[in-house]
Structure 1
């Protein structure tokens, strides 16, 4: 099985045969909604059917990350980029969601909103649902990638 070094994490190898979905979307609510729907559909095609914990969790994380890219990472005339990979091992699948926008100065921070706040809970959801998450700067361009991974047993 061929492997390659992960671009955001030197020294970490990924399976070169991993399933991958990669696409640009308009930085609008409509683009975020389309990204969420296509991720759910792609996961279904990859063996994580609709209405399973894996599909629902990854779709929710995608919804939060793409909504944040539209709301906080939008630069007029620039799209956001989504990359979804699934790397299946012998006992688990690691699914990674990456959302890249072109705003460097607005890095996501995990905060606890007040009980009556109408916003600010998205990254709390991502943090609670993901095995791990973080940010990395874009290489050779302004912006950042916000990513999340989940490790999940195969859906039955």
Structure 2
């Protein structure tokens, strides 16, 4: 599929989602990362797929283990630059006021 003239084709794809700081949230983060990478054309054993899943799994587990405080969750963001072949993985904790 070609882009219409005058438009630059999208080369950076992103996925971002917040999860509860629980074991279930960490598991869901891993499963959704696997699903997203597969949808972007990655395959197990090819192109950094395994390393990306390992990083998301480990950081999500750490967020769930150390982030179990009321009002705290964590987020996962994946950004894939097709043109540069770069996959960026980010996991961060968000703290809110418990009321």
Q: What are the ranges of 5 or more consecutive residues in structure 2 without an aligned counterpart? A: 1-6
Distance 1:30 1:57 in 2: 21
Distance 1:74 1:97, change over 3 A: farther
Paired residues in the alignment total: 90
2:85 maps to which residue? 93
Distance 2:77 2:21 in 1: 15
1:40 pairs with one of 34, 37, 42: 34
2:20 maps to which residue? 26
CA shift at 1:60, angstroms?
0.5
Matched, 1:70 2:64: yes
1:83 maps to which residue? 77
| Superposition misfits of 4+ residues, deviation over 4 angstroms | none
Give the TM-score, by structure 1 length. Answer: 0.50
Matched residue of 1:79: which SS? strand
Larger helix share, 1 or 2: 2
